Structure 1
């Protein structure tokens, strides 16, 4: 194979993926992975493979190598990760660092060993410095200190980006990385102790509505600004990037606009029909004051988000209510 140049550029020209080729979605039952599977099925892919965590522990290197050798995927989306909100990241930083690095190293090494031609690694916008200039462009990576409440997870994801870049330099493979903003949608984690802010708010306000509570208390001041992307839009962007983008630098995936946590809480309260008061516990951490991604690079490739925040929230609330009895407690 022709080796790439030292900056990770390849001679590869992106084109439409073969719908009949084997496509391995690592993490296919999760929020992101399940959305990618839905998108691929809708686009006519006929050989999508994946394993649940009980079937394949991605932290088990030998098992991962054996599985990738068996299925021989042409394409791979690495959407598997240990994820959680501020509380989980603050309480279990070792788990978030160790588990995610092991998952990434095992899957990426196995993919290289067994000839995966096109791969996309999915990270997180938390890779960027806490006080990065807003909106955050891709060049902000490694230019400042990380947010302390999730720095272990961020370091793991940064390691994944570097791994992909190293594969491009050493082996010339046209692998890419994408960094989504805050995601939400069906199959999210609505656990009261391990979820991100948006599903946590949906659950809290829905339970308050059903229980007739006259007040809800949220963490922090509500002043931080966040950008939210429906996971079906992310899945669309993943396929778009695989068919239209090649380069060593990670690509931001978002909407290009943000709202305060107070504003998102008000929207969710309205969607679920909650009419009580909302209180804010300022003794709890806010996290990064603002995290809005610059999505010009993605826009220049011809993609933009389509699902509005209110539309996405309404469908997510409907999904949550339909599956509440099955969700993780």
Structure 2
């Protein structure tokens, strides 16, 4: 394992917000499984820069780079859909790059100006490709401090410290820093997990946040019965219906923090934003689910008229 502060990736998307299954023709009468007035929060992992590998689709419109216009467009899409926040993911070496650091600062500034009160950006560090990396917690804390990121109001905090999620494959090293709480999503018993689609325990909510991860599809190497391995859909997208069904399963489990595996990971095949494969369908289904969840929660909280 190599020790690399630049092996961080601010991610997650996460996007945190309420959600519930609802599309035309679906069984909108599915029982609301939460206590009256309670609605989960939804996050989506957001990749400012694409992962290495062959994409399964392209974003629409295609916007090379993490420009101001793209940031503004994406923030509008996040908030219009009803997401409560994102998990911000950066490629390896991004945090050692002054230009990309400036882009993170700019995004946080725009989020503070344009997103609703309480909307969160959760920092998440992801590994390069399938390589495991170690992240020095002290170096991470110094990076946050040196670039003024501790002052941004949208960053998730715990007891005044910035929460940084470590995706599977990213490990904390070095002494703790007083400005940072590192949460290892790959560690057994962690308060947050980031399981693969095939994990049988994926819909068992984790920790005090009752967190789960849902997928909109999954593209990976598949071994056929004849032993031949080739890339394919291990989890079909179904024009956004897979994401809809995954969200409903999270509701059935009474998850309180529902993380969409990614807003725009075209290499892994899990994405929500408008794209060349299934257009607006996933985003429409997600938006409908979040709106329906809020209606369910509000209706359950309203006592019947005598």
> What TM-score do the two structures reach when normalised by structure 2?
0.34
**Is the helix fraction higher in 1 or 2?**
1
Q: TM-score scaled to structure 1, two decimals?
A: 0.32
